Amino acid sequence: MSDLKRTLGLSTALSVVIGGVIGSGIFMKPALMAAQLGSPVLLLSVWVVAGIITLFGALSNAEVAAMFPETGGQYVFFEKMYGSGFAFLYGWAAFAVFNTAGNASIAYICAQYTDYFVTLPRFSGAVEHAVHLHIPCIGNIFPLENFGVKMLTALIIVLLSFINHYSVQYGAALQRFLSSLKIVAIALLIGGILFSGHGSLHNITAPSPGMPHGFALVGAYMAAIAGAFWAYDGWNNITFVAGEIKDPQKNIPTSLFAGLMFCMIIYLLVNIAFVYVLPLHQMATSSFVASDAASAVWGVMGGGIIALMVILSTFGTANANIMATARVTYAMGQTSNLFSWAGRQQPKYHTPGNALWLNAAWSVILIISGSFDTLTDMLIFVSWFFYGMSALGVIILRYKMKDTSRPYKVPGYPLVTLFFVLFTVFFLSVTVYTDVTNYHNGKANTINSLLGIAITCAGIPLYLWRKKKRFS
């Protein structure tokens, strides 16, 4: 069990939830979603529906987090629900795919937008493509491509890992500061656009002539939901640091509910602001909708304003993710001799220092190789599989540990939890079907969902080897 100190209060818990959720998705996804749906009303509804579904999953996880407020979050939960084997598979997948690759992708976006203000060095096209690696089932990756951006990305990962290695309090204080700045900046963006007088309320209700119907609309809606889920991802960061939260039985559920409700309202208002100044057909063809919306109000300054906001937003999200996800590796290290080095606490600063540096090292390897971009394509599928299993585990524990104290219980149980589990099954099934169809139709080079399953299952022989080594 972790012996990290409980030093983080409610304000830090809220900043971890909000900072971990609001990253780059809200600035990048709305244009594609508008093109898929062809209706501003449906576009706005997607953010509400995805937010409610995410909230159902978060509140279900909050019940278990209040029962077992330990560092490592879902890794600890899965040990209680399904045993050490399944927990190891989760920890392996988190380390190999969705935690480290997710951290790399957020930091990469931060570095990309820094390039708006400072021209980062890069090699010529010939040099960039002179060196390449071929990975089966993934394709070619180019380590020298966008090398300046990659180096800045690696620097962001290393810098934030150092801060969180040096002090939990410094990392938490930085997170509170960055989340506060992010909230103020987004509020100013929303207010500046909605009260600019440069838009039209008619845009919010006028559908596009190309709006899909019937089964095509169902498919489009599910695709848009997936985009919204990507923007809502990161809420479970708070469960990873549960062992360091003061009064966790109260503060974890409160931070999840209040934080996600706040994010949902912000996402809805941002999309209303975008639609207000950009007719849906214009929004659907925008390569960067946030910049175009800001430019419609502030002219050429708009691009710089949005670039600065993306840098601020993603830097805060990167810090929240790096601080939280290292706790999963740390918890796995405490129960696995394969990762035992990562389970050691930094004796001077009382932080999961080794886990932070192990995650950072793997993230930097993914950044330099360029493979993180491919891995993030399967991030949502793999993480949602484990979200679903975590919610299912709430039902299992109600029978398995019926006499265990539950300081917090899921409101609306079992309907809320069961709905989330059934929706997850539906969402994953549709994702696999869509991936396979796109692959056979030549629209994709890989079947991302199946590749995600394969990488996760690669942890099985590692677990069996680790188990054999332990008892040999």
- DSSP summary character for residue 285: T
Contacts within 8 Å (CB) and 24+ apart, 338-345: 338/462, 338/465, 338/466, 338/469, 339/91, 339/95, 345/3, 345/4
Sort strands 133-135 and 139-141 into parallel, antiparallel or unpaired.
antiparallel
pLDDT at 67: 92
| CA 440 – CA 435 distance, rounded (Å) | 9
- With CA atoms as reference, report the closest residue to 362 among 91, 103, 108: 103
In contact, 379 and 192? CB cutoff 8 Å: no
Cα separation, 103 vs 234, whole angstroms: 10
Tell me if 141 sits within 8 A of 445, measured CB to CB: no
Q: Among residues 231, 159, 241, 267, which one has the least CA distance to residue 379?
A: 231
Any alpha helices (H) in 116-247, and if so which ranges? Answer: 125-128, 147-166, 168-194, 215-232, 237-240
Q: Which residues of the chain have pLDDT under 70?
A: 1-3, 135-139, 209-210, 214-215, 371-375, 377, 444-446, 468-472
- Check if the beta carbon of residue 375 is closer than 8 Å to that of residue 106: no
Buried b (16+ CB within 10 A) or exposed e, 401-417: eeeeebebebeeeeebb
Above pLDDT 70, what percent of the chain? 94
373 token code pair: 């971009």
Whether 2 is in a domain gets the answer no
- Name the β-bridge partners of 134: 140
Model pLDDT, residue 227:
85
Residue 1 belongs to a domain: no
- 195 contacts: CB under 8 Å, gap ≥ 6: none
**∠ CA 20-22-26, rounded to 5°:** 150
Q: Which domain holds residue 338?
A: 10-471
Diameter over CA atoms, the chain? 73
pLDDT tens for each residue of 150-201: 999 999 999 999 999 988 888 889 999 999 988 998 999 999 999 988 878 8
Cα four-point dihedral sign 211, 214, 216, 218: positive
Q: How far is CA 211 from CA 49, 143, 204, in A?
A: 19, 41, 15
Token pair for 304: 């710089």
In a domain? residue 321? yes
Give the integer Cα–Cα distance in Å for 312 and 333: 32
Angle CA(129)–CA(372)–CA(381) in degrees, nearest 5? 135
Residue 438 located in a structural domain: yes
> What tokens appear for 406 in the block?
């539950």
Compute the half-sphere exposure of residue 81: CA atoms within 13 Å on the CB side of its CA. Answer: 28
Q: What is the DSSP letter of 252?
A: H
Is 376 domain-assigned? yes
Please check whether residue 5 lies inside any domain of the structure.
no
Residue 3 lies in a domain: no
Let me know if residue 460 belongs to a domain: yes
Rounded Cα distance, 316 and 63, in Å: 27
Place of tokens 């392996």: 92
Other CB atoms within 10 A of residue 32 CB: 15
Task: Give ∠ CA 310-266-22 in degrees, rounded to 5.
Answer: 40
φ, ψ (nearest 5 deg) of residue 141: -125, 150
The domain total for the chain is: 1
Predicted confidence at residue 79, as pLDDT, reads: 93
Question: Exposed (0-12), middle (13-18) or buried (19+): which is 444, by Cβ within 10 Å?
Answer: middle
pLDDT (0 to 100) of residue 445: 65
Kindly report the CATH number assigned to the domain that includes residue 399.
Answer: 1.20.1740.10
